[in-house]
Structure 1
Amino acid sequence: MNSSKKFFAEGLGTFALVLFGCGAATIASISTSGPDGIGLLGISLAFGLSVVVMAYTIGPISGCHINPAISIAMLVAGKLSMKDTIGYIIAQCIGAIGAAGLLYLIATGSAGFAMPEWGLGSNGWGTGYLGEYNMQSALIAEFAFTFLFLLVIFGTTAKNASPIMAGLAIGISLALIHMVAIPITGTSVNPARSLGPALFAGGIALEQLWLFIVAPVAGGVCAALVRNIFLDD
């Protein structure tokens, strides 16, 4: 598969992830526990199922990373070239920004719309954000959950694993991560997913974006470094 097709697939896949996942948080759920919204479980499933459907849609083309932390971890593990890693990350960020922009256009069609702090499903922490966890909790959660997420990915895509079940297992693991981490940070484990909404929300969401780049990338790299403990390829 040539690089341009892989890059396009990664951009499209990340676009779908952000549109469905952040769309669920922004439009389909008034609050994570309100009676009129889909709630925390619904948002978690939106992100997880987005990965499942895109894994089977673009997986044969690009591997369906749709996440810079995954692409960088694959680079460290020797499974992706530097050229493709850079191309993947650029495409993922473009896809995420495009989805956030479309979501913003849709959201502004609601009567009385005003961009709130951490709008469009932006990630964050601290006073005023969901469970109001501090920066230390946010940093630990994003690192640990990305680390575990990458271990699932490495394990389910290993040479002795079942490729048919990989997309399902990865999507379920992402849904589980969201079920725990949404009150802490809104759940990123994906720098591109955080970048798109933060650019449009601005303010505190943009100021706190650094954590959702550093922690997921560090967690992914650590997972790549320890994968050889239990994987042969």
Structure 2
Amino acid sequence: MDDGKKYLAELLGTFVLVLIGTGSAVVAGTYIGFLGIALAFGLSVLVMVYAIGPISGCHINPAITIAMLAGGKISAKDAAVYIVVQCVGAVLASIVLLSIMTGHPGYNLATNGLGQNGYGAASPANYSMMSGFIAEVILTFIFLLVIFGATSSKAPVGFAGIPIGLSLAIIHMVGIPITGTSVNPARSLGPALVVGGTALAQLWLFIVAPIIGALIAALVWKYLLEDPATPA
């Protein structure tokens, strides 16, 4: 596949995930609740796996790209560009969401935000920084473990998007009250850069914790679960 097409696919895929996911919270959260938001994130990934998976692999998440790099499934060059374009797509999505929300007379960026992640007073249910860190590591670990398994050579061909999307949805069902659920540094970066303030100050956790969880999953899969005779 042409490199430019792969990179554009990753940008567009991340744009869709962040716009629909955070948009479901900001635009429709009072109507659909946490369950609806969780499904919006999960279904966004599911449909994008089939839309751009054949082009780029549909990482749309720097933590996934880093885990795939650690597992030897992507080159360093592609990984670096993937991460950059994923972040660009996420920021563009947050800018577009803000432009939509400014058309609502009751919307205030400082009060309503853009679906940013947070801990402590910025957590939806006031969970501590430590709780948020542990949750983000473990939830990302679970997500990546599903991805490695669903895309392995022994998994049914053509069905990877379903378990991957559903796993992201169930992760959000648990994680939304804790941090708003990141498990994706780009998804956290977009809203944080546009909102600023506390969201930007707390962004470090939503970069570090998902990467740690993803790397643990890559190691567990490679050395404990993967059959070396039939690599993923």
Question: Into which bin does the TM-score normalised by the smaller protein fall?
Answer: over 0.9
- What runs of 5+ residues in structure 2 fail to find an aligned partner? none
- In the alignment, the residues of structure 2 paired with residue 115 and residue 61 of structure 1 have an alpha-carbon distance, to the nearest angstrom, of 36
Deviations 1:94-115 (A, max 9, x none): 1000000000000111104211
Q: TM-score, normalised by structure 2?
A: 0.96
Residue pairs, 1:5-84, within 5 angstroms? 5-30=5-30, 37-84=31-78
More helix by share: 2
- In the alignment, the residues of structure 1 paired with residue 167 and residue 110 of structure 2 have an alpha-carbon distance, to the nearest angstrom, of 30
Residue equivalent to 2:226: 231
Q: Which amino acid aligns with 2:207?
A: I
Q: CA deviation at 1:128?
A: 4.8
Q: Which amino acid aligns with 1:111?
A: P
SS of residue in 2 equivalent to 1:123:
coil
Query: Does the 8 Å contact 1:118/1:198 carry over to 2?
Result: no
Does residue 107 in structure 1 map to residue 101 in structure 2?
Answer: yes
Deviations 1:69-111 (A, max 9, x none): 0000000000000000001001100100000000000011110
Percentage identity across aligned positions? 60
- In the alignment, the residues of structure 2 paired with residue 99 and residue 121 of structure 1 have an alpha-carbon distance, to the nearest angstrom, of 11
- In the alignment, the residues of structure 2 paired with residue 61 and residue 74 of structure 1 have an alpha-carbon distance, to the nearest angstrom, of 16
- In the alignment, the residues of structure 2 paired with residue 42 and residue 56 of structure 1 have an alpha-carbon distance, to the nearest angstrom, of 21
SS of residue in 2 equivalent to 1:165:
coil
Residue pairs, 1:169-184, within 5 angstroms? 169-184=163-178
Residue equivalent to 1:4: 4
| C-alpha RMSD of matched pairs (Å) | 1.0
Deviations 1:4-44 (A, max 9, x none): 110000000000000100000000113xxxxxx11000000
- In the alignment, the residues of structure 1 paired with residue 105 and residue 113 of structure 2 have an alpha-carbon distance, to the nearest angstrom, of 16
